[in-house]
Chain A
């Protein structure tokens, strides 16, 4: 009897039997209210998991005023600033006089802008930029027209980055306060 069952089963299951097993999988959970509220308010803010990790309620802004994404960018900015500072300090200890940072060094800043803010930021500039090639870049949700950085939309993050040729002043320029938005 057992042998017979074994033989039957060894032939494999039918499509209908597989479907029955697949139907055992539960239905997907609905998205959390926290995520929904977060996306309603600002898709660039942190996920509920990050809020929980921060020990705050949904939407608790982190030090950068944003959430997960700005938090991540702020972390990158801190790492980049630290590396630049270390490079400058390292060079200062080896060279007779402070020189420019190595070419290609990049500092990236994240400036939170309230979603759908009005009026949109019209112009900004990097403070303390000395001799470096300056570039302004839009964040993932900001539109710019022309090359002068005039914004036509003020949604999301504004990122400012510059590379090469800057020294200690550029590191200081990495402070968020040094990028005026008006």
Chain B
């Protein structure tokens, strides 16, 4: 690439290549150049993953979609200046989503653990019990500090290693381990009553 030529672009794949098989860097460059098909492939490749992460973090599908949309909007804006061979797109997108979710959660006062409902709806019917457990788990997750929740979601639900999660959160793997330990301890405390109930049902 000629130094100082802003418009020059590294071509990473032939123009007639199948866009679904193209690398992220090539697709971003193509999208920045006005290739709608390349943009579509990028959306399809990552929309599900980042919406899912936002849902785990926020608990609301609509909020999650807002965050995913915002992340893609930022990618759209970033595309012209994207440097091939730099950050991995997946890492970049997750990082944006993690930060957006943390920002959103900061604006909402956390629920103190002590105020979590013993049984959110108190329903006694067996068919409601599963829903209540889901709600309790959801509430306990929501009550975690954002970074603990993020670390737990990334490693437990999405299968990232501590090192990968650390890269996404901008912290070391050891710091992730610490967040996980504290988060899991808090969850155990918060879900004690649910656990007792499940144990009681089995007896």
- Interface positions of A (Cβ within 8 A of B): 5, 9, 12-13, 15, 17-19, 21-22, 24-32, 35-36, 38-40, 43-44, 47-49, 69, 115-116, 118, 140-141, 143, 145, 152-156
In the complex, chain A residues whose CB is within 8 Å of the CB of B61:
28-29, 32
Residue in A closest to B140 when the chains form the complex, CB atoms: A21
Are B191 and A18 in contact (CB-based, < 8 A)? yes
Contact A24–B134 (Cβ < 8 Å): yes
B184 at the interface (CB under 8 A from A): yes
Q: Determine the distance from Cα of A49 to Cα of B53 in the docked complex, in whole angstroms.
A: 19
Max count, chain A CB within 10 A of own CB: residue among B69, B77, B189: B69
With A5-B199, A17-B195 as contacts: A12 and B141 at CB distance below 8 Å: no
Question: Does B116 reach chain A (CB closer than 8 Å)?
Answer: no
**Cβ–Cβ contact A140 & B191, under 8 A:** no
In the complex the two chains form, is B6's CB within 8 Å of A31's CB?
no
- Determine the residue in chain B with the shortest Cβ distance to A36: B47
Residues of B within 8 A of A140 (CB): 73-74, 76-77
User: Given the interface contacts A28-B55, A43-B76, does A22 sit within 8 Å of B187 by beta carbon?
Assistant: yes
Tell me if B43 and A40 are in contact (CB < 8 A).
Answer: yes
Stretch at the interface among B15-23, B32-40, B89-97, B105-113: B32-40
Is A153 within 8 A of B80, CB to CB? yes
B178 within 8 A of A: no
On whether the beta carbons of B141 and A35 are closer than 8 Å, the reply is no
Q: Which residues of B contact A39 (CB under 8 A)?
A: 43, 47, 69, 72
A120 to chain B, nearest CB (A): 8
Count of A-B residue pairs with CB < 8 Å: 121
Instruction: Say whether B133 faces chain A, with CB atoms less than 8 Å apart.
Output: yes
A27 to B158, CA, bound (A): 11
CB-based nearest B residue for A18: B188
Chain B interface residues toward A at CB < 8 A: 6-7, 32-36, 39-40, 43-44, 47-48, 51-53, 55-56, 61-62, 64-66, 68-69, 72-74, 76-77, 79-80, 130, 133-134, 137-138, 141, 156-157, 184, 187-189, 191-192, 194-196, 198-200, 203
C-alpha gap A40/B43 in the complex (Å): 7
Can you report 27 residue pairs joining A to B where beta carbons are below 8 Å apart? A13-B188, A18-B187, A19-B156, A21-B195, A22-B156, A24-B130, A24-B134, A25-B141, A25-B157, A29-B55, A31-B47, A31-B65, A35-B69, A38-B69, A39-B72, A43-B43, A43-B69, A43-B76, A47-B65, A49-B65, A116-B36, A140-B77, A143-B32, A143-B80, A152-B7, A153-B32, A156-B77
B184 touches A18 (CB 8 A): yes
B69→A47 contact, CB < 8 A: yes
Extra inter-chain contacts (18) besides given A13-B195, A21-B198, A31-B65, CB under 8 Å: A9-B196, A21-B194, A22-B156, A24-B137, A25-B141, A27-B52, A40-B43, A43-B73, A48-B65, A49-B66, A115-B36, A116-B35, A140-B76, A141-B77, A143-B80, A145-B7, A153-B80, A156-B77
Q: Are B72 and A22 in contact (CB under 8 A)?
A: no
| Pick from A18, A29, A35, A143: contact of B47, CB under 8 Å | A35
| CB within 8 Å for A13 and B48 given contacts A25-B141, A140-B76, A155-B34 | no
Partner of A9, one of B7, B34, B195: B195
